[in-house]
Amino acid sequence: MYTYGYTSTNKSNSLNSENRPHYLLLAFVGLFLMWSTFHVALFNGHTVNFESPIYTATLFAAVIALVSMGVFFKHFKLDQKSTLLLWYAPLLPISYAISLWNAASSSYAVNMLLITFIFITFYITTIIITQNGNARSKLTTLLISNAYVIVWFGFINWFGNSNLVKPLISWMGIYFEESGRYKDAVMFTNDGLRLTSVFQYANTYAAYLMAFLFVALFLLGRSTKWWGKLTHASMLVPILLSIMLTLSRGGLVMLPVVFFILLLFLKPYRQLTWIIHLTISGIATLLVLNPITSIGTELYENFTIGTSLKGWGILLVISLLSGVLSLCTEKWITPWLQEKFSSLSSKKIANFIIPLGSAIAGLILFVIFVGTSAKNILPEDIRNRLESINFTQNSVLERGTFYTDALKVISDYPIIGAGGGGWAALYEQYQNNPYVSRQAHNFFLQYIIETGILGFAFLSIFLVYILYHYIRSYIRADDEKRDEHFIYFIIALSILVHSILDFNMSYVYIGILVFIGLGGMTTAIEKDPIANQKRKPKSIKLAYTAIFSLASVVVLITSFTFISAAKAYDKTIEILGTTNNYNEIIEPLDKALSIRPTHPNYVMLKSDLQAQIYVQTQDEEYFTESEKAIKDALKVEPYNKSLWMSLNSLYSHKNMHVDIYKVYDENKYRYPWDIEWYEQYMHIASLLAINPSVDKAATDKYIASTLESLEHIHKGIEHLKTLPEGQLQGRKFEITPKVALHAGQAYYMSGKTQEAHDLMKAHIQENLTNPENPNDKTNQELMRWYLASVQKLGLKDDASLAKLLAFDQTENEKITSIANMKLK
């Protein structure tokens, strides 16, 4: 009887004493996966609002780790390779612990250490679960069920029905906007409407969909029940449609790459079956792509129940029809293909023929859809994204810049790295142009930055060892053994390949899936019985259980205290909206700081409160305590710009201009492309230069600082002109009115009146008031100093003078005062 490699499991004793502990683990894992999914997939965004779910996840993982160790000690069967990997895996969090010594950001580094513990916990837990055949099949069901929930949740938001599911999942503390939408599940961007489901980032959702598209294809063939086949077959259209709606170029580029690799592991008849299923679902997807896109756009702007139901009707009908066709393929065509290709399957080159042919066919289809009128059948947004797939568009060029800049960071932190979150903390210092990206868009480069060559060597050995032995075991195994763990290979491979181009692994949930995949692959490695060992397996298990359990308890306590601190901080924010009572506000904040005294956000909030009290009372104790807290935090967070700005804000309350100048001057190398930093730096330098109490030597120093800053900005502007044509520069970096004002003042005070005149004249603004900030007097002051230079040079500009005087009649005296200023 044709079974397509299906491995049966014994259902009769599924709840016996050996299975029960594994099922307890499965219950924990299933609950964790569902919970974490809806918390933005536990994105590690290096901001305080993402931290609390990650700490809760760490607590949950520590509990899972302790339960796992109990099951491990009683039921785990040791073999040489799995034992080696179980002892080796903790080197990954250990490498993050080592990098703490050199961390650019203590808080980011600690978070990544905890996250890596979560990854290893799920790696070990998966090995324990997948050693049990019944539990392994249930884990497969959990993973695919969770994926299908995410896919349908995406369409629930696409068709505007998130209000219907909100009561079902909001009990998990999931955030919904006031409109009832799950935040950014559907995003309106310059490229059009993009589907992101729970991820709030389309490219990572595309990577996730790609992995489970291939898992669904695999399970479609593996299932023995017709309803199982139909379920997986009917999900192919929703998944493919979701990939298209993400508008992810990276997803569209990497999907055929991963597909090609996976085909190499299948026999020819299986390869053809996969291609047929994808062809059926692909055609069905193209048939409904235009109407589904239009309906989603219409519903995003104006929800109507009729339009929503129409969208659901189209999607469900076409998905079911496609599923039925794939079911028919499985019933009649696949057995025929298996018989016809049985002789070819025995040849070594057989597995390469169809993948190569499909690659060529895929390339031809791409050329057709991009280079001919066939592209007109696609929605405009998707057509534009396909046409922009080339090596000269911003997304590609910018990634190249990220990678080049990443190598600069690595060269300065080569051995143990810059600690977790190293890129987020350091990238502004090393960036080639003023882009904004707290992620390096490449998991492997980001890993080297964070853990150095040492940590990356640990990771590389770990991945290569598992991959090599898995492939070797796969080649030697029969079909049934191959199929038992192949979905784990699909998941790990798909996400890791796509992570070459993006920061998928910054989503803790995605990282967990990868390590679950690696764990399943580890279980599939050929077993070598332990022989001639000095220590008995039970002793090895006892030692491992004790060590990992102790580490889990430490993490459990740490995560619990971090959760307590995060809740206290959130409580402070909540109280701030209801009262001005300092003692009431500060109580929970002090609790948070007692746990994490150098956490940047906690420190800055208290500093701001203390600064306000100092201004009101002039009590030096508040100032001193605030200054000390910020400086202590800066010792472990030296690259945190917000902390430096908080310190300067505190200094401004006492007019400590020299100290403010030192902060800007000594840290300017960290933020070479931050024009606002240079505006403030030049402002304080000019302020000090004008101060009559400052001696000539100091004045010359401040003037030199201002003019050097101007030169730095000029060089930056010239450098930006060398960027490739398709690459955007990122943030604004130009001679702003503030820069022109302060540089003009510096020129003027150094006796270079003509240079001052020319610079300021070129940047005079039409509007003397700033509509975005009425308190900003920069344009008015720029006009004043410009007219002073006009008067000094004996020139006239009656139009500008009349304009300024119409704005403020007292300006004439101020202009004359500047013109008559005695230069030092």
4 has a pLDDT exceeding 60: no
Give pLDDT, residue 177: 82
pLDDT in tens, 671-730: 999 999 999 999 999 999 999 888 999 999 999 999 999 999 999 999 999 999 989 999
pLDDT band at 11, cuts 50/70/90? very low
pLDDT in tens, 170-181: 777 787 887 778
Give pLDDT, residue 345: 61
Give pLDDT, residue 7: 39
pLDDT band at 374, cuts 50/70/90? low
- Residue type at 255? L
17 has a pLDDT exceeding 70: no
pLDDT band at 358, cuts 50/70/90? confident
108 has a pLDDT exceeding 80: yes
- DSSP notation for 681-740: HHHHHHHHHH-TTS-HHHHHHHHHHHHHHHHHHHHHHHHHTTS-TT----S--S--HHHH
Give pLDDT, residue 824: 66
Q: List Cα–Cα distances, 340 to 268, 351, 789, 807, in angstroms.
A: 10, 15, 91, 89
500 burial via Cβ count (<10 Å: 0-12, 13-18, 19+): middle
Identify which has the larger pLDDT, 497 or 371.
497
Give pLDDT, residue 682: 98
Q: List Cα–Cα distances, 432 to 412, 471, 658, in angstroms.
A: 16, 40, 31
Q: Which residues contact 434 (CB under 8 A, 6 or more apart)?
A: 673, 674, 675, 729, 730, 731, 732, 733
> Per residue in 39-61, is it b (16+ CB within 10 Å) or e — as a string?
bbbbbbbbebebbbbbbbbbbbb
Please state the rounded mean pLDDT for residues 419-442.
Answer: 97
12 has a pLDDT exceeding 50: no
Pull the structure tokens for residue 58. Answer: 């760490």
pLDDT band at 353, cuts 50/70/90? confident
pLDDT band at 5, cuts 50/70/90? very low
Please state the rounded mean pLDDT for residues 428-450.
Answer: 97
Give pLDDT, residue 538: 80
Give the percent of the chain with pLDDT over 90: 79
pLDDT in tens, 28-45: 999 999 999 999 999 999
Give pLDDT, residue 388: 66
Give pLDDT, residue 775: 83
Q: What are phi and psi of 696, to 5 degrees?
A: -65, -40
Please state the rounded mean pLDDT for residues 272-288.
Answer: 95
pLDDT band at 793, cuts 50/70/90? very high
Give pLDDT, residue 373: 66
> Per residue in 181-217, is it b (16+ CB within 10 Å) or e — as a string?
bbbbbbbeeeebbbbbbbbbbbbbbbbbbbbbbbbbb
14 has a pLDDT exceeding 70: no
Q: Are 732 and 675 in contact (CB under 8 A)?
A: yes
Identify which has the larger pLDDT, 21 or 454.
454
Give pLDDT, residue 6: 34
Mean pLDDT of all residues belonging to the chain: 92
Please state the rounded mean pLDDT for residues 566-579.
Answer: 95
Please state the rounded mean pLDDT for residues 460-481.
Answer: 94
- Residue 29's nearest CA partner among 126, 147, 94 is 126
Please state the rounded mean pLDDT for residues 385-410.
Answer: 85
- Residue type at 32? F
What is the C-alpha separation between 358 and 149, in angstroms, rounded? Answer: 31
Identify which has the larger pLDDT, 366 or 508.
508
Identify which has the larger pLDDT, 408 or 775.
408
What is the C-alpha separation between 493 and 504, in angstroms, rounded? Answer: 13
Give pLDDT, residue 667: 98
371 has a pLDDT exceeding 90: no
132 has a pLDDT exceeding 70: yes
What is the C-alpha separation between 235 and 326, in angstroms, rounded? Answer: 11
Q: Is the pTM of this model over 0.75?
A: yes
- Residue 676's nearest CA partner among 577, 776, 607 is 776
744 has a pLDDT exceeding 80: yes
